Structure 1
Amino acid sequence: MPDETESATGLGIKFPAVRHSPWWVLTRRILVAVGILAFTVFLVYVDRKGYVDNSDPTNEISLVDAMYYTTVTLSTTGYGDIAPASQGARLVNAFVITPLRIAFLVLLIGTTIEVLASQGREMFRAARWRKRMDQHVVVVGYGTKGRSAIATLIGNGLSREDIVVVDPTSSAIQEANNDGLTVVVGDATRRDVLRRAGVAKAQQIIITTDRDDSTVLSVLNARQLNSSAYIVAAVREGDNVALVRQSGADAVVTSSDAVGRLLGLSAVSPALGSVIDDLLSYGDGLEVAERELLVPEVGKQPQQLPDQVIAVVRDQTLHRYYDPVVTQLARGDKLIVVRPAKELPWAPRPGTHNEDTADDE
């Protein structure tokens, strides 16, 4: 039954759906069917004097006769041996039992109707989703790296509806749907799969495949479909960084090297390793963030700001805080800062209390 599994459009796209136990669905339908039968038997038996039994000379309608009439009537068999004779019985049949008959028939073929209706809904939903998908984020792979990247994006204010996951594995599809994410089913090395994910209109593309050769092909196809999207890719080996960059990635993260450096730092200095791990984790302790320059901060030195400024982005160029070029902050600058993950009374987040940014002036 369609409400027991993830909703599927048949077009390789799966949306998160409400899930019910098969026993819950079956029990609900049985109870509804029994309720309709029992209610109809009750109506017929209460008004039994308004019915005639052509096969019984006494014309007496018993409880068994009422049950028999109900089953043949609701199933539209209608042998005609028992029939409503009085005006009241005929009115009840016309305005009460007939709607109950329709409801009973819909219940009997409910699964087929549900499947057809579900497919229609999902096709309409997919069409509406394609029209809405613009400037979204495509994440290739829903493994550990993909889930962490999405958690960071959501933690920084991105809506789940603006994220599309691409993955071919059933376990990842189920996990992503359970997390409220839309999934395009397929291999990201194939261009048609990336097209279904709306890569051509995406603002950012994050590629986290398990193999570096798949990453290269995914980056090549994504870049050919979208020349302006910002593509971030993860590779296992540092030797493949240059190749992935040549394929079109704007940023490449070497997972094995990053883990190795963190292990080395933790061995040399456990405290230093803890700080680096804290900066990479979201939601607690310290975080690294980018924010706008505020109007009162224009002309100041990076060291004079309440946040710990570690870099300044000026004219799309990254400068370290000690670079002479950014000795004085100017309008249009963006700040890379280290700050508390949560706003605290003693460390309020600049720019979160309706302050004017330097770009607003």
Structure 2
Amino acid sequence: MIRPHRLSADQMKPLRRRSDIPIWLALGWRAFAVLGLIGIVLTVHWFDRDGLKDNVDSAISFGDVLYFTMITVTTVGFGDIVPVTDRARMFDTFVVTPIRVFIWLIFLGTAYDFVLKRTWERWRMAMIQRNLDDHVIVAGYGSSGAEAVRELIARGTPAEQIVVIDSRADRIHHAELVGCSVLEADATRDITLQAAKVERARGMIVSAGRDDTSILILLTARHLAPRLPISIAVRNEDNELPARQAGANIVINPASFAGLLLAGSTHGAHIADYMADLAAASGRVQLNEREATPDEIGRPLRAIGSGLGVRLYRRGLPIGFWEPGAQALEAGDTIVEIIPGEDQTVPRG
């Protein structure tokens, strides 16, 4: 997959880090540089016009000097006016030739920056959109969204399979540095989520920073992708129910989760530490969710061999490891288990 990317109101454009210099000023500096270099050559040629020879009328006027200057800094000349003294020839060799190359570089660089690069980036953006599939969309790259992206990458999701959407250029720039595909746009709009191919995503995380904005993004995404798994972060407890009613599969209240950790810490010195350990990909233990394998059908949840089974989901209903339904796994059951972290080894025997 190719990356970058930003979205304007009616046209997708590849993201580029914003420059503090306006376009008109950048063009002005380049034009000033070209005119300055031409002015240097023109001045020297005028004061050293005796070193030039006009093969047409043998007279060197200011017009002839101007013509010769423009021809020599853009081409190698036509031979109608030529330098005849050693000083004029050395000046053309060691000064005019490098200036000619430099001016052409300015011309080519300007053409690339303002014409070729934009065409190339539009093509790249089209390729990004065409190839997006089975990706994760993160709407909002604030503290929670950025942490979610880091955790996704730590859990094995390639950065190029993550599409970050945010309307702030500084956040988009940081997401691009991580390696994500990014869209600088309003995630509440259909055109934005359509550009991110929301209908082909495997999951979406919504953390816009404002509950009303997050829920509006959720509604837009659910309208475009009815079956897409969507997780949303809300700050106000009162908005948890509206978020669920809007179609969120998972609703997380960061403040409530922090409260759970704080409360757990008062009932044991290691409870909060273990909960945080479970939530992080870098922890000594991890939570893993998977489908029951054929050889596990009929066996109790506690007897699975890949980890410690703590819960299963059967037809959408949660069943704890102690409940009768967990005594025999069935086809289609989803298992939630605790497994060792990636850097941990499990002794055999």
Deviation at 1:247, TM superposition (A): 1.4
Counterpart of 2:333?
Answer: 333
- Which secondary structure does the structure 1 equivalent of 2:205 belong to? strand
Relative to structure 1, is the Cα distance of residues 319 and 224 closer, same or farther in structure 2, using a 3 angstrom cutoff? same
Asked if structure 2 preserves the Cα contact closer than 8 Å seen for 1:9 and 1:119, the reply is no
Q: Distance in 2 between matches of 1:285 and 1:319?
A: 25
- Which secondary structure does the structure 1 equivalent of 2:251 belong to? strand
Counterpart of 1:156?
Answer: 155
Asked if structure 2 preserves the Cα contact closer than 8 Å seen for 1:14 and 1:182, the reply is no
Relative to structure 1, is the Cα distance of residues 296 and 227 closer, same or farther in structure 2, using a 3 angstrom cutoff? closer
- Which secondary structure does the structure 2 equivalent of 1:239 belong to? helix
Counterpart of 2:105?
Answer: 107
* Structure 2 counterparts to residues 131-142 of structure 1, below 5 A: 131-142=130-141
* Structure 2 counterparts to residues 112-151 of structure 1, below 5 A: 112-115=110-113, 116-151=115-150
Q: Distance in 1 between matches of 2:293 and 2:221?
A: 36
Q: Distance in 2 between matches of 1:273 and 1:140?
A: 28
Asked if structure 2 preserves the Cα contact closer than 8 Å seen for 1:310 and 1:337, the reply is yes
* Count of residues paired in the alignment: 287
Asked if structure 1 preserves the Cα contact closer than 8 Å seen for 2:137 and 2:198, the reply is yes
Q: Distance in 2 between matches of 1:247 and 1:199?
A: 17
Q: Percent identical across equivalent pairs?
A: 27
Deviation at 1:303, TM superposition (A): 1.9
- Of 263-272 and 224-233, the range deviating more from structure 2: 263-272
* 2:278 paired with 1:279: yes
Deviation at 1:163, TM superposition (A): 1.4
Q: Distance in 2 between matches of 1:191 and 1:8?
A: 15
Q: Distance in 2 between matches of 1:315 and 1:156?
A: 27
Deviations along 1:222-270, one digit per CA (max 9) or x if unpaired, are 1112212111111001111111111121221111111111112123322
Relative to structure 1, is the Cα distance of residues 279 and 294 closer, same or farther in structure 2, using a 3 angstrom cutoff? same
Asked if structure 1 preserves the Cα contact closer than 8 Å seen for 2:172 and 2:182, the reply is yes
- Of 101-110 and 311-320, the range deviating more from structure 2: 101-110
Q: Distance in 2 between matches of 1:155 and 1:220?
A: 29
Asked if structure 2 preserves the Cα contact closer than 8 Å seen for 1:135 and 1:203, the reply is yes
Relative to structure 1, is the Cα distance of residues 347 and 168 closer, same or farther in structure 2, using a 3 angstrom cutoff? farther
Q: Distance in 1 between matches of 2:280 and 2:316?
A: 26
Counterpart of 2:81?
Answer: 81
Deviation at 1:127, TM superposition (A): 0.9
What TM-score do you get using the length of structure 1 for normalisation? Answer: 0.69
- Which secondary structure does the structure 2 equivalent of 1:109 belong to? helix
Asked if structure 2 preserves the Cα contact closer than 8 Å seen for 1:312 and 1:334, the reply is yes
Q: Distance in 1 between matches of 2:164 and 2:235?
A: 20
Deviations along 1:315-353, one digit per CA (max 9) or x if unpaired, are 4443222221220223443321112112544258xxxxx
Q: CA RMSD in A?
A: 3.5
Counterpart of 1:179?
Answer: 178
Counterpart of 1:314?
Answer: 314
Q: Distance in 1 between matches of 2:238 and 2:196?
A: 29
Q: Distance in 1 between matches of 2:166 and 2:6?
A: 15
Relative to structure 1, is the Cα distance of residues 313 and 261 closer, same or farther in structure 2, using a 3 angstrom cutoff? same
What TM-score do you get using the length of structure 2 for normalisation? Answer: 0.71
Asked if structure 2 preserves the Cα contact closer than 8 Å seen for 1:15 and 1:182, the reply is no
Deviation at 1:191, TM superposition (A): 2.8
Deviation at 1:179, TM superposition (A): 0.6
Q: Distance in 1 between matches of 2:293 and 2:347?
A: 16
Relative to structure 1, is the Cα distance of residues 216 and 346 closer, same or farther in structure 2, using a 3 angstrom cutoff? closer
Q: Distance in 2 between matches of 1:150 and 1:55?
A: 70
